[in-house]
Structure 1
């Protein structure tokens, strides 16, 4: 079956559209994530997505070409660890169609295949039911709970730690 989502690394030409999609999705994103909302924020995101320590991916619906979400691989550690953090968020109007499941699955396959990583960890706020459900559907297991783990929206927030290993990954059809 042909993928409904095209995923590729973020690039300069995504800036205006990504900022607009993020602004239109504030009600979906907050309080879980606060992505770039202006040109300066986008430039900072693009600079962080350097391909060494972090990779940012834009997911577009194949037919329309519209941005449906973002998937990030952050804090890549090589050597004996071969691990990274996985983050993702979808855009308003695209929820409930399985498009982010496809996008995140493509990035996980890239992480374990092309990048040769061994482990991915997703840290999810306990009240973020859609993100928790997505992690579960993709085979992540909950490994623990971290109080006041990440500062998001100016507040230290609790997170659940979800993880998957390369040998556990089975890309959904």
Structure 2
């Protein structure tokens, strides 16, 4: 039996997600800045309702605690059938395999049930834990993108990783 449960984000997740993100601010600081209030949740949730995003909440099956979030964004259909994968774990729950399981589960779901062909993850080179996670989840390194994404006011380099449906 899996250690985690993956569900599409729901409005009822707001309070738990806001609390988890607040608790994890320092843990996330070098890499991302997820929402920490209701306005931020509402904006994020609106994107999952209207598209082109699919957002998932990962919970530890035994306790029901949120262990992380997995997002598939900028989905392009037609012949491309691709999206961008991003994710983050919650402070105090890292290095237990939860997010590897969550990412792998979401990938399998989006390939088999949603019909995507390719997922791409872009990761800062210093984020060693995240690079190890995508390797474990079956992603292959495809390249390096200089000044790829603006984070905390600075353009950051990223490694480009991808996983295909077959």
Q: Same fold (TM over 0.5)?
A: yes
- Give the distance between the partners of 1:139 and 1:114, measured in 2 at CA: 18
The answer for the alignment partner of 1:171 in structure 2 is: none
Greater mean alpha carbon deviation, residues 22-31 or residues 117-126 = 22-31
TM-score (norm 1): 0.93
Matches within 5 A, 1:57-136: 57-136=56-135
- Give the distance between the partners of 1:58 and 1:90, measured in 2 at CA: 10
TM-score (norm 2): 0.97
The answer for the alignment partner of 2:138 in structure 1 is: 139
- Give the distance between the partners of 1:98 and 1:7, measured in 2 at CA: 14
- Give the distance between the partners of 1:38 and 1:8, measured in 2 at CA: 21
Shift of 1:52: 3.7
Deviations 1:24-58 (A, max 9, x none): 11121111111111110000000011264101100
Q: For structure 1, list consecutive stretches of 5 or more residues without a partner in the other structure.
A: 168-173
Q: For structure 2, list consecutive stretches of 5 or more residues without a partner in the other structure.
A: none
Moved beyond 2 Å, runs of 4+: none
- Give the distance between the partners of 2:101 and 2:50, measured in 1 at CA: 22
Number of equivalent positions: 166
Output the aligned Cα RMSD.
1.0
